Chain A
Amino acid sequence: MSEGFSITKTYLKFLEEDSEMTMPIAAIEALVTLLRIKNPGTAAEVINSIKSAVDELVKTIPNSVSLRAGCDIFMRFVLRNLHLYGDWESCKKHLIENGQLFVSRAKSSREKIAEIGIDFITDDDIILVHGFSRAVYSLLSHAANNLIRFRCVITETRPSNQGEQLYKLLAEKGIPVTLVVDGAVGSIIDKVDKVFVGAEGVAESGGIINVIGTYPVGVLAHNARKPFYVVTESHKFVRMFPLSSDDLPMENKFLDFTRRPSDSEIKVSGPTIDYTSQEYITALITDLGVLTPSAVSEELIKMWYD
C-alpha cells in the first residue's frame, strides 16, 4: 500500500475536499497521513521519509511558498518531539494525534484573527482588498456580523480572477462592494481608507509573498500614506528571506521574450506571485496578535530555537 501512496496526490486531494483548508495545513495533513500509512520504524526513518516527501511536494507543486511553511512547521514539530520522547511508539502516537490538532487549530486561528482584527475596521471605512484570502474574508464577514458599516473595493486580481470570488462572497453578506480592474488601484487609492491583503507566506524579514499585484498595491498605499494591513495565520510564517521578487521559488520567473508567429494567440506570461517587502507593511494581523514586520523574525526564531 505504501508504494501506491503519493504525497502530491494526497495533498491535492485535501485541498480539493475542504475549501476552507489552506495550503500549509493541507501539507501538514498530507505528511501526517504519510506517517500513518508508511508507519516508519525508527526516528531516522521518520525524518528521512518526511524529508523526501517534502522535497517531492516542493518540486511537483508549482507554487510552493506557503506549502513550504507548513512543511517547515511540521518538520520542526517532529524533530522536537523525537527529542522529547525516548520511546518511539508513544512518540509516533503523539505525532499523529498532534498532526490532527494542527489542522483543527489552524481552522480556529482564522476566527481568532477576525476577533483581533475587528478593531481595525470602523464605520464608514472604504477598504481595498487585493486577492482572495480566507483570513481577510473571515475578518470582513466578522466585522459585518458585528454591524460595522463599511464598504469594500475589490481588485480583479488577474490572471487568477480571485477578486470575483471574494466579490460574490461579500455581496452575499450584504456588504457594499465594488470590483475594479488592477490598474485602477492608483486612481482610487486616495478614496480608500485602508488596504487589506492576505499572504501566501510571510518571510523572515516581515515582508509577504502573495498573489501577483500585491507589491504595486503596497507601494501605492505607502505612497498615499494609507495603512496596509496583512491578514494572515501565523503558520504561514516561513523561513525564507527573499531580497526581492526575483528570489522567490516560482515558475515563469523570467520574462519570456521568445518570438512567436504573428498569428498565434497572445499569451500572458510572467510570475504569479510577488514579494512585498516589509517597509510597505503597516502591520500584520495574525492569530498571535497584531505584529510589526520585525516581530515576524522574532516569532520565527522562537518557533525554531527554543
Chain B
Amino acid sequence: MSENNTEKQASLTPPPVEPPKEQTDEKNSKKDETTPVVADGEKKLSNKELKELKKQEKAAKRAAKKQASGISIEQQQQQAQAKREKKKQQQQRELQKKEAKLKKANNQNTNTTQTVKKTSLFSHLETTEERRASVLAITSAVSNPKTSRITAAGLMIPMVASAISGSRIYTTSSFAKSISTPQNGSKSNNVTRTSTASSSTTQASVNVINAAAGATTTPTTDITSTKDIAKTLATISLDSDEYAVVPGISSIVPRTMEQNFESQQLISSVKELLLNKDLIHPAISLLTTNIAHYKIVGSIPRCIAMLEAFQIVINDYQTPKGTTLSRNLTNYLSHQIDILKKARPLSVTMGNAIRWLKQEISHIDPSVSDKVAKKELCEMIAQFAKEKIELADQLIIENASHHIEDATTIVVYGSSKVIADIIIHNALTLKKNIKVIVVDSRPLFEGRSMANKLRKKGINVVYALITSLDAVINMNVDYVLLGAHSILSNGFLYSRAGTAMIAMSANRRNIPVLVCCESLKFSQRVQLDSVTYNELADPNDLVSVDFKSPVERLANEGALLKQFIKERKEVKKKQEEISNKSKGKANNNGGKNGNKKNDVKDVNNNEESKNVNVLDDWQNLQSLNIVNILYDLTPPEYIKKVITEFGSLPPSSVPVILREYKGSA
C-alpha cells in the first residue's frame, strides 16, 4: 500500500465513471477523520475517562461493602472486570454511533461549505460548477439514451458519450496516459481498494475502471484511441451488472445535484427542464454545450450562433394540432432558451434578439401557412443578424474612423472584433500610421488573439498586461478604445473585468475613452455595481498559472479532468489515512493519541512537500474563497463617448435610443 501505488490508482481513475455523489461522501469521511471531529471525540473521551475514574472509586467503595458482605476479592475483581469490559464495549458502540452521527452532520456541513463553495458576496450568482452540473444533467438526458444513460453512480458518463459522438475532441493527454499505465498497478490497487472498502458503489466504479484498463491493453496516446476507451467505458458501464442503471432520470439527476448543491431553485429548474427534455432540439443542446465549454465566446458570436440555431429549430418545427404557430412557437422557443440559459447566463445581445424574435413571431398572421411562416421567420432572422450586427459594424467602423487621426497611439483591452476591424481599416485602408497597445489580463488572455490578429496585418502592436497599466497609459496614448458586452440604461458600461480600471486610469490622464458597440448591446437594465448581476467564471482558472489559454483548456475539458484527478488523489490519501487509523484503533486504545499526532505530522509534511501552489487545495480551506468574475461596470463619467451605428452618443443617451427604437427595432 505504498504511496506510489495510490497515486497510480488515482491517476488511473478516469473522470467519467466517477460518481460525484460517491466522491463527496468520501471527501466527507476523510474530512471527519482529520481535524475537528477527532478533536471533539478526544474531548469527550477524556471526559469519559474522568467519569470512569469516578466510577472506579465508587466500585472500590462497593467492593468494600461487598467484601463486608462476604464475597472474595478475586471474585469481585472478576465481576468488576466483566462489567467494565461490557461497559467499555457499550461505550465504544456509543462512541461509534456518535461518530457516525457526527459524520452525517458533517456531511451536510461540508456539502454546503465545500461543494458549493461560494463567496458570500457573490452567493446569489450561479457558479460554474452549478452550471456545468445542470448542463451535464440536461445534455445527458437529451442525447442518445443508449450511450449516455445516467447511472446511479453518477453523471459523468455522458461526457464520454459526447466524446464518442465526435462533437468534441478529447485531447487531454492525461486521460490517455492514465489509461496506459501498467495493469499490474491497477490490480494491486484494486486490492487496496477492497481492503479499504468504503462502499459497494465505489467498488463497482473501480471495477469498471479496471475493466476499462483491461479492455485497452495497448498503450494509447492518440485521440482516436482515447475515443475507443471512451466507447468501451460507456459500453462497460451499461453491461456491468454492478453498475446499477436506474431508470427515471428526473429522479436521479436532481438527487445527485441535491447532494452537491444547495440552491433549491437550481434543482427545481433542472427538474423542470428534464420534464420537458423531449422538446429540446439537438441543435440547441449542441449550442448549449459549446457555449458552456467556452467554445463560442463573445456576446456577438454567441448571439449569431443562437440565431443560427434558432433558424434550424424553426425549420424543424411542426405546429401541434389545435394551436397556431404564432402562439405555440414562442412557447417552444422558450423551452430552448431555458436550456441555453443553463450554459451561461444569456448575453444582452441574445436577450435583445430573443425579445425581437418573439415579437416577430407573435405578429405572424395565423392564416399564413406554417411553411411560409417558417421560411419568412428564417429570412427575418438572417436579415436581423445582417442589419444589427454586420451592417452596424460597418457603420461603427466608419464613424470611429473620423476620430482616429494619423499617427496615433491607441490602447485596447482584451479582444473585440469591432475594434480590431476599426484599427485594421484605419491602418490598411486609410493608411494611417497607428500604434496599438493591447492590454491583456489573466486568466482569459483574450488580448493575445487580438494582438496576433493585428500583428498579422502588419500593425505596430505592443502587448502588455493590465498590471503594467500605469506605465502603458503614460506612453503618449491618444485614445482608449473599448469593446462592450453591454451598455446599461444608466450609461454604465458592462464589459470584461478590467475595463473599468482602464477607463479610470485613462480618465485620470485626460485620455478620451471611446466605447464601440452595436445598439443591439444596449440593455434596459439599470445597475450600479458589478455585484448585483455578474457572471462567475471557474475559480480554478485562477488557481494554476498556466500559459495555455484557459479558454482552450476549458474547451477540451482539461480543467475538469485535472480537478478530478487531483480530487481523486486526495481522496485516496485520506482513505489511506483512515485505514491506518482504524488499524491503530484496533491495536490499542491509547495508541489513538499517537496516531493522531502522526496524522497531524502527515498533514504538515504534505503541505511542506507540496510547496507548489498554495491555492491548489482551496476547496478545502475554510477561510479561503476565490472570486473569478467575468464582467465589471464602468461608470459613465469615465466614458467620453459611445460609438454606435447611429453615430456617436454620450453614454447618457442609451435610454433614448432604447426608447426611440423600441418600435422600429
Contact = CB atoms under 8 A, between A and B. Distances in A.
A298 interface: yes
Interface in B644-665: 646-650, 652-653, 656-657, 660-661, 664
B403 A243 contact: yes
Contact of B660 (A206, A244, A294, A306): A306
B640 interface: yes
A51 B650 CA distance: 27
B640 A294 contact: no
Interface in A284-302: 294, 297-298, 301-302
Contacts of B649: 204, 241, 297, 301
Contacts of B403: 243, 247
A206 B648 CA distance: 12
A63 interface: no
A204 B657 contact: no
Nearest to B649: A297
A122 to B, nearest CB: 30
Given A241-B641, A243-B641, A301 B657 contact: yes
A298 B641 contact: no
Query: Considering residues A205, A239, A247, A297, which has the most beta carbons from chain B within 10 angstroms of its beta carbon?
Result: A297
A290 to B, nearest CB: 17
A79 B519 CA distance: 23
Contact of B647 (A239, A278, A302): A239
Nearest to A246: B405
A301 B660 contact: yes
Contacts of B656: 297-298, 301-302
Interface in B491-525: 512
Contacts of B647: 204, 239, 241
Contacts of A305: 646, 660-661, 664
A206 B641 contact: no
Interface string A89-109: 000000000000000000000
A243 B512 contact: yes
A136 to B, nearest CB: 25
Contact of A297 (B512, B640, B653, B661): B653
Interface in A191-236: 204-206
Contacts of A297: 649-650, 652-653, 656
Contacts of A205: 641, 650
Contact of B650 (A244, A294, A306): A294
Contacts of A306: 660
* Secondary structure class of chain A's binding surface, majority of residues: loop
Nearest to B653: A297
Given A243-B512, A297-B649, A297-B653, A302 B660 contact: yes
Interface in A242-280: 243-244, 247, 278
A243 B657 CA distance: 21
Contacts of A204: 647-650, 653
A204 B656 CA distance: 13
Contacts of B664: 305
B648 A301 contact: no
Contacts of B652: 294, 297
A243 B648 CA distance: 11
A244 B641 CA distance: 12
A12 B141 CA distance: 77
A249 to B, nearest CB: 11
A298 to B, nearest CB: 4
Interface in B557-588: none
A39 to B, nearest CB: 33
A298 B652 CA distance: 9
A244 B403 CA distance: 11
A293 to B, nearest CB: 8
A247 B403 CA distance: 8
Interface in B619-650: 640-641, 646-650
Nearest to A247: B403
Nearest to B663: A306
Contacts of A302: 656, 660
Query: Considering residues B403, B646, B648, B657, which has the most beta carbons from chain A within 10 angstroms of its beta carbon?
Result: B648
Given A239-B647, A241-B647, A243-B403, A301 B653 contact: yes
Contacts of A241: 641, 647-650
Nearest to A277: B640
A122 B31 CA distance: 78
A278 B657 CA distance: 20
A80 B434 CA distance: 39
B477 to A, nearest CB: 13
A271 B260 CA distance: 69
B650 A243 contact: no
A305 B656 CA distance: 11
Nearest to A296: B650
A305 B403 CA distance: 23
Query: Considering residues A239, A241, A306, which has the most beta carbons from chain B within 10 angstroms of its beta carbon?
Result: A241
Query: Considering residues A204, A247, A298, A306, which has the most beta carbons from chain B within 10 angstroms of its beta carbon?
Result: A298
Nearest to B657: A301
B646 A206 contact: no
A59 B307 CA distance: 46
Query: Considering residues B650, B660, B661, which has the most beta carbons from chain A within 10 angstroms of its beta carbon?
Result: B650
Contacts of A298: 653, 656
A281 B380 CA distance: 45
A305 B644 CA distance: 14
Given A301-B657, A301-B660, A305-B660, A206 B650 contact: yes
A254 to B, nearest CB: 12
A71 B136 CA distance: 60
Interface string B386-408: 00000000000000000100000
A233 B304 CA distance: 44
A294 B653 CA distance: 7
B604 to A, nearest CB: 60
Contacts of A243: 403, 512, 640-641
B482 to A, nearest CB: 15
A205 B652 CA distance: 9
A40 B647 CA distance: 30
Nearest to A205: B650
Given A204-B650, A298-B656, 9 more contacts: A204-B649, A205-B641, A243-B403, A294-B652, A294-B653, A297-B649, A301-B653, A301-B656, A305-B660
Q: Which 5 A-B pairs have the closest CB atoms?
A: A294-B652, A241-B648, A297-B653, A298-B656, A243-B512
Interface of B: 403, 512, 640-641, 646-650, 652-653, 656-657, 660-661, 664
18 contacts: A204-B649, A204-B650, A205-B641, A205-B650, A206-B650, A243-B403, A243-B640, A244-B512, A247-B403, A278-B650, A294-B652, A297-B652, A297-B656, A301-B657, A301-B660, A302-B656, A305-B660, A305-B664
